[in-house]
Chains A and B, each alone.
Chain A
Amino acid sequence: MIFTVMKGRAHKFGDGISTDHIVPGKYAHLRSNLPELAKHVMEDADPTFLSRVRPGDFLVAGKNFGLGSSREHAAVVIKMVGISAILAKSVARIFFRNAINQGLPVLICDTDMINDGDEIEVDLAAGTITNLTSGIKLTFGKIPEVMLNIMKEGGLIPYINKYGDFKL
């Protein structure tokens, strides 16, 4: 369950990482083949990302992460390659909903305090992020309750399957 403490390494990106960086539009023909599509995750931002990412790692970004298209595939492939949470200074609206709907936590925090390769620990229940490399502790912005509830169920479809409707 995602509310246990998560530990992993940071993969750091800059500001304005768009959905075209995450899953380039030129691979739109692979969108019905998610394992194939996932092989191109973040390709236009950092072609070495896929070879370096390990299950449990964190994707760390600057401002406006995930801007652009509504393709939920962006959140899906990030989750598929094992990223346990996204940490960013801010996140674009549609991507934010998509990630939560996939049960992928998105935490808004001051990512200037995290460097590429740092060991990070996230305690969702306690609301803290610890940079184990530097020893710095960070807090993250409050996630709206409706989204928290969706995330707890592992995503929107399981949530709807459990409750049958939205519960605000």
Chain B
Amino acid sequence: MGKTLSEKILSQKSGTDARAGDMVIAAVDWVFVQDTTGTLTIRQFRESKKTGLASPERTVIFVDHAVPSPNRQFSNDHHFLRQFARETGCLFFEPGSGICHQLVAEKLASPGEVIVGADSHTVTAGGLGAFATGMGSSDVAVVFALGKTWFRVPESFKISLTGRFQKFVSSKDLILHLIGTIGADGATYKALEFVGDAVSHMAISQRLTVANMAVEAGAKVGVFPSDHVTKEFLRKQGRGRNYVALHPDDDATYEQTIAIDISKLEPMVAMPHSVDNVAPVQTLAGAKIDQVFIGTCTNGRLEDIAIAAKILEGKKCHPNVRLIVAPASRKVLLDAIKAGYVEILVNAGAILVPPGCAACLGVHQGALGDNEVCLSTANRNFKGRMGNPEALIYLASPATAAASAITGEITDPRGLVK
């Protein structure tokens, strides 16, 4: 009987005939931490009797969540992580390099790999056909030490995509729609597998956005097949030789199938305080906002900044709105400068902050005031997420965010731009 993508990858990496429900021990190709999970991971690692890293050249530390450091505690944590990297010879990405998941996609991940990170949005690399998932510090510490971990092979939901997006509708709207349909725990412990003829027309940036938010439905992974689009992406990043074609078998077993005609989708918003509290932008049109945040591992890529620049070109942000833009990586920032997007956005009134997580997690660079409302391109709108439980967070696409920055209220980009 055929296999899903997850079954194929875990079979390969565990050396067994892995089927949904099996417990396997799989080799891990990349393991990483970031600056808010790294210190606990290293402490756990040091509590273990294992002395060295299983594979320093495949162990990575990213400093991305609070960059440049906003206070002495973070500065000390960053120093601690840097020291560990020097001692062990593992890879280290300094502040300003970018968000861990973006860097994993740009520089490390390949189809068919198993990737484990001490960050829940490790799932992002599923957009490149990797079995990538977030774990806590103890699990990651053990991967540091052993280069492997245990998995329960997940059952998969087949998300079958057909059609093409309408103008100003993007994969963010697709994943918000899906999470709104199945709920924030709708895929707990499962794999979301995205297939169908629409996939081959989706750029890697769009796939990464979808895979990124798989965890918002509780999923262990959100995984795409690897195809000519993947191949071209890897070639451009100088990793063409890492390409392997990867598709699920036609007779693979799925727990359920959800078919979505993406041409029928419209711009969507997740309302406070839950990612599955989803409605079409139109139904919320006119709601006042104080801040717009464009960035994060969900929507801080060049394509996202491009659409925002297109919408904001020659326009100004509404006087009551702060627009914060955070490119997902140094490469994204450089490419956005070269393409002229940065100039357009800054002219429109945007505050450009360095590559990193920025306002997403509420520690700096755009924490919200009491009763303030933010429209964000991030993946989470939990109470307190952006530093204040008295604030409200709406999630939407970069197009909706840019249109709303102009009007000062939640706005359907299709109505604003012709």
What is A's interface to B at a CB cutoff of 8 Å? Answer: 16, 18, 20-21, 24-26, 28-33, 44, 63-64, 67-73, 75-76, 90, 92-95, 97-98, 101-102, 144, 146, 155-157, 160-161, 164-166, 168
What's the nearest-Cβ distance from chain A to residue B391, in Å? 11
B61 vs chain A, min Cβ distance (A) = 15
Whether the pair A101, B363 counts as a contact (CB closer than 8 A) is no
A72 contact from B137, B142, B184, Cβ within 8 A: B137
Q: A26-B387, A31-B37, A157-B44 given. 14 additional CB < 8 A pairs?
A: A24-B384, A28-B66, A29-B70, A32-B40, A32-B77, A67-B185, A69-B119, A70-B117, A70-B122, A93-B218, A98-B137, A98-B139, A101-B138, A144-B23
Distance of A160 Cα from B44 Cα, bound (Å):
11
Contact of A32 with B119 in the complex, beta carbons under 8 Å: no
Do B73 and A30 have beta carbons less than 8 Å apart? yes
B150 with A146: CB separation less than 8 A: yes
Chain B 62-73 near chain A by CB (<8 Å), digits 1 or 0? 000110001101
11 contacts between A and B (CB under 8 A): A20-B380, A20-B384, A26-B384, A29-B66, A30-B73, A32-B80, A33-B73, A146-B23, A161-B47, A164-B49, A165-B146
B383 lies within 8 A of A44 (CB): yes
B385 within 8 A of A: yes
- What's the interface size class on B, roughly? 35 or more
- Is B387's CB under 8 angstroms from A31's CB? no
* Alpha-carbon distance between A76 and B136 when the two chains are bound, in angstroms: 11
- Return the CB mask of B131-152 against A: 1 if under 8 Å, else 0: 0001111110110011011101
Contact of A68 with B382 in the complex, beta carbons under 8 Å? yes
Name, among A73, A93, A98, A160, the residue most crowded by chain B CB atoms within 10 Å (CB to CB).
A93
Is A64 in contact with B185, judged by CB distance below 8 angstroms? Answer: yes
Sort A-B residue pairs by CB-CB distance and give the 6 closest, nearest first. A72-B136, A98-B136, A101-B138, A29-B73, A64-B185, A44-B384
Contact across chains for A31 and B361 when beta carbons are under 8 A apart: no
Q: Kindly provide the distance from the CB of B17 to the nearest chain A CB, expressed in whole angstroms.
A: 15
Contact of B150 among A16, A26, A69, A168 (CB under 8 A): A168
Q: Does B74 contact A (CB under 8 A)?
A: yes
Q: How far is the CB of B228 from the nearest CB of chain A, in Å?
A: 32
* Closest chain B CB from A163 CB (angstroms): 11
Quote the shortest CB–CB distance from B10 to chain A (angstroms): 13
Shortest Cβ gap from A135 to chain B (Å): 31
Q: Which of A69, A90, A155 contacts B138 (CB 8 A)?
A: A155
Structural contact, B48 and A161, CB atoms closer than 8 A: yes
Q: Is the CB of A97 within 8 A of B218?
A: no
Question: A76: which B residues are within 8 A, CB to CB?
Answer: 40
The answer to whether B189 has its CB under 8 Å from any CB of chain A is yes
- Hey, which chain A residues are within 8 Å of B24, CB to CB? 168
Residues in B neighbouring A97, C-beta threshold 8 A: 135-136, 139
Which residues from 80 to 94 on chain B have a C-beta closer than 8 Å to any C-beta of chain A?
80
Query: What residues of chain B lie closer than 8 Å to A90, measured between beta carbons?
Result: 185, 188
Alpha-carbon gap, A29 to B40, bound state (A): 12
User: B350-374 interface mask toward A, CB cutoff 8 Å, 1 = contact, 0 = none?
Assistant: 0000000000011100010000000
Q: A29-B73, A90-B185, A166-B25 are in contact. Are A70 and B120 (CB under 8 A)?
A: yes
